[in-house]
């Protein structure tokens, strides 16, 4: 940006500086006005970056709230019984020889 400011006339720089709220520009040299405007540009850039960072952090937090943690999910229970469980009553499945007797 400094290069663009340096190509401008002193009167144009003073007009821009007045619009940006810099006071006392009539008494300043061209280099001083350019320096002040560059500092203001840097400050504006930092403020914009900080605002963007806050927006990104808010998006991340919103995503975290919407998606439950992997640890919070309960394991899915099997609803379907195996073929053996459907054929044999539960008491017979508990005995050690249950599978042998049905085979």
How far is the C-alpha of 22 from the C-alpha of 59, rounded, in Å? 36
How far is the C-alpha of 103 from the C-alpha of 8, rounded, in Å? 96
Asked whether residue 32 is domain-assigned, the answer is yes
Asked whether residue 73 is domain-assigned, the answer is no
Per-residue pLDDT of the chain (103 residues; tens, 9 = 90+): 889 999 999 999 999 999 999 889 999 999 999 999 999 999 999 999 998 898 888 888 888 777 665 555 666 666 666 666 666 665 555 556 555 554 4
Asked whether residue 11 is domain-assigned, the answer is yes
Asked whether residue 14 is domain-assigned, the answer is yes
Asked whether residue 88 is domain-assigned, the answer is no
Contact 102, 84 (CB under 8 A): yes
Asked whether residue 3 is domain-assigned, the answer is yes
Count of structural domains, the chain = 1
pLDDT of residue 18: 92
Asked whether residue 101 is domain-assigned, the answer is no
pLDDT of residue 89: 60
Domain that holds residue 40: 1-68
How far is the C-alpha of 47 from the C-alpha of 57, rounded, in Å? 15
Asked whether residue 78 is domain-assigned, the answer is no
């Amino acid at each position: 940006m400094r290069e663009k400011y340096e190509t401008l006339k002193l009167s144009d720089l003073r007009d821009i500086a007045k619009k940006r709220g810099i006071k006392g520009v009539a008494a300043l040299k061209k280099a001083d006005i350019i320096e002040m405007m560059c500092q203001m540009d840097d400050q504006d850039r930092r403020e914009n970056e900080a605002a963007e960072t806050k927006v990104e952090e808010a998006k991340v937090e919103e995503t975290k709230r919407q998606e439950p943690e992997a640890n919070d999910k309960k394991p899915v229970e099997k609803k379907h019984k195996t073929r053996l469980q459907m054929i044999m009553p539960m008491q017979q499945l508990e005995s050690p020889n249950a599978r042998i007797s049905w085979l």
